[in-house]
């Protein structure tokens, strides 16, 4: 089945710094999402982005489907950005099963 790898696994930033999180996938995908899991365990949708670029405030994402990767950019990080960021993909099998990466754990220091 499709493999999803996220990097880096862990990231520590000073408040105000910028960062780039990467998601590589091993096969073509129909759908791709980015999630943030906050320290209370809640999973929050960030982007639905099977291709192209989207921006939402300080966050933006780019997916290059032909090269099988997606990037999540966090600018001017805040302590509330701390948590785990997951990438999830649905292959072109048409089954609507999403496969998750193991996540990037981000800690933003005040």
Partner 1 sequence: DAGITQSPRHKVTETGTPVTLRCHQTENHRYMYWYRQDPGHGLRLIHYSYGVKDTDKGEVSDGYSVSRSKTEDFLLTLESATSSQTSVYFCAIMGGRGYEQYFGPGTRLTVT
Residues that bind partner 1 (CB under 8 A): 1, 30-31, 33, 35, 41-43, 45, 48, 86, 88, 90, 95-103
Shortest distance, position 64 Cβ to partner 1, whole Å: 19
Structure tokens at 24: 């590589």
Shortest distance, position 97 Cβ to partner 1, whole Å: 6
Which CB atom, from 31 or from 82, has the smaller least distance to partner 1?
31
Please state whether the peptide bond connecting residue 8 to the residue before it is cis, i.e. omega within 30 degrees of 0: yes
Which CB atom, from 30 or from 60, has the smaller least distance to partner 1?
30
Shortest distance, position 95 Cβ to partner 1, whole Å: 7
Cβ atoms within 10 Å of 27's Cβ, excluding its own? 14
Shortest distance, position 14 Cβ to partner 1, whole Å: 26
Which CB atom, from 74 or from 87, has the smaller least distance to partner 1?
87
Phi and psi angles of residue 59, each rounded to the nearest 5 degrees, phi first: -105, 140
Instruction: Write down the H helix ranges in 1-110.
Output: none
């Amino acid at each position: 089945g499709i493999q999803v790898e996220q990097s880096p696994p862990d990231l520590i930033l000073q408040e105000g710094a910028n960062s780039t999180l990467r998601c590589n996938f091993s096969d073509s995908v129909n759908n791709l999402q980015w999630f943030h899991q906050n320290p209370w365990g809640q999973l929050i949708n960030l982007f639905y982005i099977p291709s192209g670029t989207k921006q939402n405030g300080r966050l933006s994402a780019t997916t290059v489907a032909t090269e099988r990767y997606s990037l999540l950019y966090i600018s001017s990080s805040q302590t509330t950005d701390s948590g785990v960021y997951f990438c999830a993909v649905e292959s072109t099998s048409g089954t609507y099963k999403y496969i998750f990466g193991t996540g990037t754990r981000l800690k933003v220091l005040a």
